[in-house]
Chain A
Amino acid sequence: MPNQSSPNRYGAVAQGFHWLIAALIVTQFTLGWLADDLPLGAHKLALLARHKSFGMTVLMLAVLRLLWRLFNRPPQLPSGMSKNGMLLARGTHIAFYVLLFAMPLTGWTMSSAKNYPVSWFGRFTWPNLISPNEHAFELLRSTHHLLSDALFAIAILHIFAALKHHFWNKDDVLVRMLPFTKSEKRS
């Protein structure tokens, strides 16, 4: 598989970003949900330390991924798609990119507001974005939760859309993002 995307297939780099970030987001939801209801204790600190380290990893990957995408155009959407379908696909993808930045940034700011500076796997500490502030923390926390609900919703939409394209429209929208498959021109 070539590194660069072609007009009908995502390249290895784009696929790598997609699946790595997807796996990290699943991990993030799991860690976030597990930590959310715990009282302050070692278990919560441990879960959130990983949540923050993975979150900052997503932020760094998001920067690289966006740069890659700007200079390496993704494959075209299938020509048979309706105008509304294309709008919905584009909108979903833009929303994903916005959230890839907004989720870690609100999380990072939240940690600063609560005076729990963010370490990256214990290797180095990210600077605080704002000074400790309880009010700001509560606001950021609800924003982070709200955005995570939005991310969950569009991820579901994204998965259903990919499956619909594959099984209903029988085009190559799903396959062209799958490693280890040959993209036979299906439509």
Chain B
Amino acid sequence: MKRSFAALCAGIFLAAAAAAGGVAGYTADAQKSRLEFAGVQAGAEFKGVFHKFTAAVEFAPDALASSHFEVQIDMNSVDSMDKDRDSTMRGPDVFDVAHAPTAHYVTKSFAKTAGGFSAVGALTLRGVTKDVPIDFQFSPGPAGATLAGSAKLKRLDFGVGRGDWKSTEWVEDAVKISFSLVLKPTT
């Protein structure tokens, strides 16, 4: 009885949400989704990934006003395919995972663009919050949707890089982010 009541409430809530905005809710499939970054060291680009992150996506192309993304990234899961660099990045001079284990991204607004969509969201990294725009494409499919896009940010805006790593001479300030999420509908 209790369960069906909860289901009923959830149903009413979803219906209300749908009526209000018409957005569909998704979560990223952790196995199939990918969050990548590309930095430049000594003039050459290197890539890495964050293995652990969660993304809650509420999105509909015709209801941008009520769309919303929320992403949490486990900074400890950074993998640049070199253990020495990974431990440096986890350390106090770069991500400082001991004090800031999670990065957080929450969208504020969406817009339609020529090639897809864009959003502006607040990124909290190393305890510093700043707006970072993203560009993405949203493709609904039979079992959910895919969301692929990119962003650019300046690491020093977030204090990522202290001591040796504050200089941009050998590690550039600009960092590229790209993501490809396989979304499953939330039930």
Contact = CB atoms under 8 A, between A and B. Distances in A.
Interface in A23-66: 40-43, 45-46, 48-49, 52
Contacts of B41: 45, 49, 116
Given A42-B165, A42-B167, A46-B170, A114 B42 contact: no
B88 interface: yes
Interface string B61-85: 0000000000000000000111111
Nearest to A121: B43
A165 B39 CA distance: 53
B82 A132 contact: yes
Interface of B: 41-48, 80-85, 88, 164-165, 167, 169-171
A43 B165 CA distance: 10
Contacts of B44: 116-119, 125-126
Size range of the interface on A? 20 to 34
Contacts, number: 57
Contacts of A114: 81-82
B43 A45 contact: no
B81 A132 contact: yes
B164 A125 contact: no
A41 B164 contact: yes
A26 to B, nearest CB: 22
16 contacts: A42-B167, A42-B169, A42-B171, A45-B41, A45-B170, A45-B171, A46-B170, A49-B170, A115-B46, A115-B47, A116-B44, A119-B42, A119-B43, A125-B45, A132-B82, A134-B83
A122 interface: yes
Contacts of B165: 42
A117 B45 contact: yes
Contacts of B81: 114-115, 132
